[in-house]
Every structure is written in structure tokens, then in C-alpha cells.
Amino acid sequence: MATKRERRDFQRRSLNTTILFRPVEAAGGSFRSGQMRDISDGGVSFDTDDPPTESSLVDMFFKEHTNAADRRVRGRVMWARPSQAGFYTIGVGFET
């Protein structure tokens, strides 16, 4: 049986932390929240019940370590998939 080809350019690592995100076009609006699943040098994935629109730019804030300062990054929503009842898993690629 053929295995699924790995398409990722970067190694992922699990990160269980809260992520705050806001679509760039809603600057000045309120932040939404989610639960981070993993992170790599190329992006993040997280679960949320209030998903951003696919291909939109989002500003994100999160801590990589419990004693670290908040990290602010911008990314583009690459995909959004239903996960569990009322929730979505979101994949965001970092903008460089």
C-alpha cells in the first residue's frame, strides 16, 4: 500500500497554548481565541470555534514557552477543516 507523501517543508512540534488571532482587515477589532495544536518554522495549526476566512491574513499572538514573552506573527490562512462538533482546525502559513 502506498503511503501518503509528506508535503511539509518544516518539522512540526506540538505546542498546547492559547492563541489569539484577528483578521488584518479587522485591525482595531476584537481578538478571537483558539487552542494551538502545533508549530513549525513555516506556520501553525490551531482549533477554534470562530474560524477566519480561508486565504485571509491574520495577526496572531501566543507564547511558545510558559516563561516567554508574547510572540506576534502574521500569517495567511491556508486551510480550515471541520474537526469536532462546532470546531475547526486552521492551518496558517507565516508571512515573511
Asked if 51 and 14 count as a contact pair (C-beta separation under 8 A), the reply is no
The CATH number given to 13-94 is 2.40.10.220
pLDDT in tens, 30-62: 999 999 999 999 999 999 999 999 999 999 999
DSSP letter for 36, please: E
Global confidence as pTM:
0.82
The cell for 57 is 491574513
Rounded Cα distance between 33 and 21, Å, is: 6
Domain ranges for the chain, please list them.
13-94
pLDDT in tens, 73-84: 999 999 999 998
How far is CA 96 from each of CA 42, 43, 73, 76, rounded to the nearest angstrom?
9, 11, 10, 10
